[in-house]
């Protein structure tokens, strides 16, 4: 058995029904290329929301690929980075891309945790950062080229090489702010199990104490954080409104998160948290 086949088996890539996934995001099979990768990542982000409902409810089933598929492909639900990343990686590998699963330190300037799952995917002979699980952040891949600037739904982002590290930055006014930092060291499945355990259970995790739902599209970022619904545009316009309990279900549906009656009832008992 080759190293490559061992790595694929570790991630149970064959568990994914590729056609079902492509149907979920409205895409067709395409020969691997940088252009096809861009469309695949964009379609994934536009179709599948970033959300932490199961973490808040204390009922997350885990990040095994079969569980991720059941929620993100089989239902009108989303997930957070480990779910998005593992799902996209499996689809990309089935389509013929070479994928490296990575981990990043969020907000490194503030000593943020080293827990975020991201991906490096090769297309047309170039490694690309593909970050489908970074909430309302990246919409399309970025070539791993020092100084590369790519428009992300209207917000410029930049990659900067720093020794063995890469820093993903976002332009805010005239300044560039670090969003996360990562190396190209590939991770193993057990690594994400450890990160997920912290992220989904630790009281200081940003995802255990409040609802977080994020959607990104061209020129528009929408977020529900706690009870605050935040709408932002690239020109700096920002609107924040509070969502009362009676509007929670409708707001979640606007963000493409559809809960069962039982899930909604449980969430309303602790909303806003």
Active-site residue set = 81, 116, 131
With beta carbons less than 8 A apart as the criterion, state whether 225 and 211 touch: yes
For 2, phi then psi, to 5°, come to: -80, 165
What do you get for the CA distance between the two ends of the chain, in Å? 49
Secondary structure (3-state) at 213: strand
Could you give the C-alpha distances from 12 to 38, 85, 87, 135, 165, in angstroms and in order? 24, 14, 11, 25, 29
With beta carbons less than 8 A apart as the criterion, state whether 80 and 55 touch: yes
Which helix or strand (DSSP H or E) is residue 195 part of?
Answer: helix 189-201
Residue 42 CA to residue 25 CA, distance in Å, equals 9
Residue 39 CA to residue 17 CA, distance in Å, equals 19
């Amino acid at each position: 058995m080759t190293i490559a086949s061992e790595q694929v088996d570790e991630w149970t890539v064959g568990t994914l029904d590729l056609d079902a996934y492509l149907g979920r995001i409205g895409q067709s099979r395409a020969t691997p290329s940088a252009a096809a990768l861009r469309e695949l990542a964009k379609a994934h982000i536009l179709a599948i929301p970033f959300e932490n409902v199961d973490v808040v409810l204390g009922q997350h089933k885990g990040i095994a690929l079969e569980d991720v598929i059941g929620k993100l492909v089989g239902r009108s639900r989303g997930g957070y980075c480990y779910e998005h990343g593992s799902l996209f990686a499996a689809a990309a590998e089935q389509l013929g891309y070479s994928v490296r699963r990575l981990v990043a330190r969020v907000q490194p300037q503030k000593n943020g945790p080293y827990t975020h799952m991201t991906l490096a995917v090769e297309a047309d002979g170039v490694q690309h950062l593909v970050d489908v699980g970074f909430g309302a952040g990246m919409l399309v891949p970025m070539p791993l080229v020092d100084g590369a600037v790519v428009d992300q739904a209207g917000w410029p982002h930049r990659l900067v090489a720093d020794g063995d590290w890469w820093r993903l930055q976002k332009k805010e006014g005239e300044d560039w702010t670090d969003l996360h930092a990562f190396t190209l060291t590939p991770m193993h499945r057990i690594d994400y199990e450890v990160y997920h355990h912290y992220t989904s259970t630790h009281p200081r995790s940003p995802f255990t104490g409040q609802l977080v739902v994020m959607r990104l599209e061209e020129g528009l970022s929408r977020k529900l954080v706690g009870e605050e619904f935040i709408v932002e545009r690239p020109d700096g316009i920002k609107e924040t409104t509070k969502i009362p309990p009676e509007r929670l279900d409708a707001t979640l549906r606007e963000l493409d998160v559809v809960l069962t009656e039982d899930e909604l009832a449980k969430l309303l008992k602790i909303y806003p948290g």
